[in-house]
């Protein structure tokens, strides 16, 4: 598989010249990014620079006007979110949408759609029960991993913002994803819990999960990331890989000016 410059697609996730217009406005202007397996990649940029549009296109919530998305070297451009989820790509949203009257456990369990819901399979009641049990066990393991056990039966509507972000991550984990796209995972979350969320992200990376993250809180996130992309006016204007390069990019006067101008 090759991109439009006839270069071989090598990365785990790659976008190639994405363009997305909303009427007259070009929200994505020839955006090409790369994410390697087991990387934690951060996407930053001032408000309106195109970050959400980019992750919406990658995760299949918006089709691009031009350009391609490659996931595990396959062209997945325009595939819908459910197809991508089957391939191992999940996402969370800026504002978590838990079902407030349901418990934390139930909110995490619904991350997976029970195969038992298919009418034919449901006829085999024993099999269905076994699947439900497996889903329950898995959700309890995730709750344990995220240190949410004390909240297992609490209604999601009673959680703090940070706890809701953790539940959203838990829900994403139900599908054994290979890539998790996180939209502002620590916005509005206290520093202590924010670091806890990122230490879980590091642990998951060790289990072969890759992360693409949009987050404004650089002060907290910087020490956890492997690669950084900076967007402005629909374009990627800078990229850094590794601690040294990332620091250089962030100290670039042009980049600082864009942020101060924001
Ligand atoms: N559905 C839409 N219809 C019209 N314009 C849109 C739509 N979605 C986004 N835009 C516009 O596209 C541009 C990029 O928006 P986008 O939400 O991707 O930026 P962002 O970097 O995620 O910003 P923020 O940090 O505020 O979330 C903005 O000018 C926005 O107003």
3 assigned to some structural domain: no
| Domain enclosing residue 202, as ranges | 13-261
State the complex-level ipTM: 0.96
1 assigned to some structural domain: no
127 assigned to some structural domain: yes
Chunked mean pLDDT (size 10), the chain, 262 residues = 76 97 97 97 95 97 97 95 93 81 92 56 60 89 94 94 91 94 91 92 96 94 96 96 95 84 51
- What is the pLDDT, as a whole number, of residue 171? 92
53 lines ligand 1 (CB under 6 A): yes
52 lines ligand 1 (CB under 6 A): yes
Atom 11 (ligand 1): residue with closest C-alpha? 27
- What is the pLDDT, as a whole number, of residue 117? 45
125 lines ligand 1 (CB under 6 A): no
240 lines ligand 1 (CB under 6 A): no
- What is the pLDDT, as a whole number, of residue 215? 94
Give the helix/strand (H/E) hosting 2.
Answer: none
46 lines ligand 1 (CB under 6 A): no
Distance 112 CA to ligand 1 centre (A): 29
Q: Domain with 65 in it: what CATH number?
A: 3.40.50.300
- What is the pLDDT, as a whole number, of residue 22? 97
- What is the pLDDT, as a whole number, of residue 126? 60
Q: How many domains does the chain have?
A: 1
5 assigned to some structural domain: no
pTM: 0.90
163 assigned to some structural domain: yes
- What is the pLDDT, as a whole number, of residue 124? 56
255 assigned to some structural domain: yes
Distance 119 CA to ligand 1 centre (A): 40
Distance 91 CA to ligand 1 centre (A): 18
32 assigned to some structural domain: yes
8 assigned to some structural domain: no
- What is the pLDDT, as a whole number, of residue 6? 72
Please check whether residue 237 is in contact with residue 230, taking contact to mean a CB–CB distance below 8 angstroms. yes
96 lines ligand 1 (CB under 6 A): no
The Cα 15–Cα 41 span in angstroms is 14
Q: How many CB atoms lie within 10 A of CB 259?
A: 14
194 lines ligand 1 (CB under 6 A): no
Please check whether residue 217 is in contact with residue 187, taking contact to mean a CB–CB distance below 8 angstroms. yes
């Amino acid at each position: 598989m090759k991109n439009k410059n006839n270069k071989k697609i090598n990365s785990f996730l790659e976008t190639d010249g994405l363009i997305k217009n909303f009427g007259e406005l070009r929200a994505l202007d020839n955006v090409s990014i790369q994410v390697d397996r087991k990387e934690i990649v951060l996407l930053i940029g001032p408000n309106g620079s195109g970050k959400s549009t980019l992750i919406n296109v990658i995760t299949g919530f918006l089709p691009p006007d031009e350009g391609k998305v490659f996931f595990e070297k396959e062209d997945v451009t325009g595939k819908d979110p459910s197809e991508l989820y089957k391939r191992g790509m999940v996402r969370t949203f800026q504002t978590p949408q838990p079902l407030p009257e349901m418990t934390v456990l139930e909110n995490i369990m619904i991350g997976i759609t029970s195969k038992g819901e298919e009418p034919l399979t449901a006829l085999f009641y024993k099999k269905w029960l076994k699947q439900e049990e497996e889903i329950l066990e898995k959700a309890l393991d995730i709750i344990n991993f995220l240190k949410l056990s004390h909240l297992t039966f609490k209604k999601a509507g009673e959680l703090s913002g940070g706890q809701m972000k953790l539940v959203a991550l838990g829900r994403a984990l139900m599908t054994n994803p290979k890539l998790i796209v996180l939209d502002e995972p620590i916005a509005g979350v206290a520093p202590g819990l924010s670091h806890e969320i990122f230490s879980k992200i590091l642990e998951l990376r060790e289990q072969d999960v890759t992360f693409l993250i949009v987050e404004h809180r650089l002060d907290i996130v910087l020490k956890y990331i492997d690669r950084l992309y900076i967007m402005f006016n629909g374009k990627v204007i800078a990229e850094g890989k590794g601690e040294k390069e990332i620091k250089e990019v962030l100290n670039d006067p042009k980049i600082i000016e864009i942020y101060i101008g924001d």
